[in-house]
């Protein structure tokens, strides 16, 4: 059975939709409802035992945006506002998992290189700022083609891309 772990970082119902569909297709799903940066570090530094990792979050040119916490609370955690590609390089320890990062700007080359260098089988993320609905549809279609229809990663990725937004998500190997 394929195992998917979702790191949900303030994306509303996206993780619920993906979890429901993935479980319907026979995927074993676990979710971390992220409230602080230590949860991300703990999950992604521990050689996770899963086939797919979905980072369901928000991002910008700085990196993955973290939940806003009060100053007296945030000082207890390793990262406060954002986790950059340089930060990820300090703790990632992946187990040949397919990593999908739905956060905006997650598909910049420097971020992809860190995930690949730290053990990801491949890394998929948007290079720009996709609409949330388009991002959700890509994720669902990719999982459907990859798991339910047994397509290889390249074919599942190609089939998941909307015809009018060919640059929405990028596959890095």
Which of 50-59, 81-90, 105-114, 124-133 shows the lowest mean pLDDT across its residues? 124-133
Summarised one tens digit per residue, pLDDT across range 86-123 is 999 999 999 999 999 999 999 999 999 999 999 999 99
pLDDT in tens, 143-161: 999 999 999 999 999 999 9
Q: Is 58 helix (H, G, I), strand (E, B) or coil?
A: strand
Place of tokens 């899963």: 50
Nearest to 7 by CA among 103, 80, 75: 103
pTM equals: 0.95
Q: In this predicted structure, what is the pLDDT of residue 163?
A: 62
The residue extents of the domains of the chain are 3-172
Sign of torsion, CA 173 115 45 73? negative
Query: Which CATH number applies to 3-172?
Result: 3.40.50.1460
Task: Return d(Cα 31, Cα 18) in angstroms, integer.
Answer: 11
First to last CA, the chain: 23
């Amino acid at each position: 059975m394929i195992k998917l772990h979702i790191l949900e970082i303030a994306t509303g119902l996206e993780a619920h939709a993906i979890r429901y569909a993935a479980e319907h297709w026979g995927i074993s799903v676990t979710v971390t409802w992220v409230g602080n940066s230590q949860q991300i570090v703990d999950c992604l530094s521990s050689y996770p035992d899963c086939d797919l990792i979905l980072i369901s979050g928000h991002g910008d040119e700085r990196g993955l945006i973290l939940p806003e916490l009060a100053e007296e609370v945030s000082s207890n955690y390793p990262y406060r506002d954002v986790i950059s590609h340089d930060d990820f390089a300090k703790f990632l320890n992946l187990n040949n998992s397919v990593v999908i990062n739905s956060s905006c700007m997650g598909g910049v080359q420097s971020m992809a290189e860190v995930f690949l260098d730290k053990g990801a089988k491949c890394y998929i993320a948007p290079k720009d700022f996709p609409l949330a609905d388009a991002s959700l549809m890509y994720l669902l279609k990719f999982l459907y083609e990859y798991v339910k229809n047994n397509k290889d990663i390249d074919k599942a990725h190609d089939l998941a891309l909307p015809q009018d937004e060919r640059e929405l998500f990028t596959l890095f190997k």
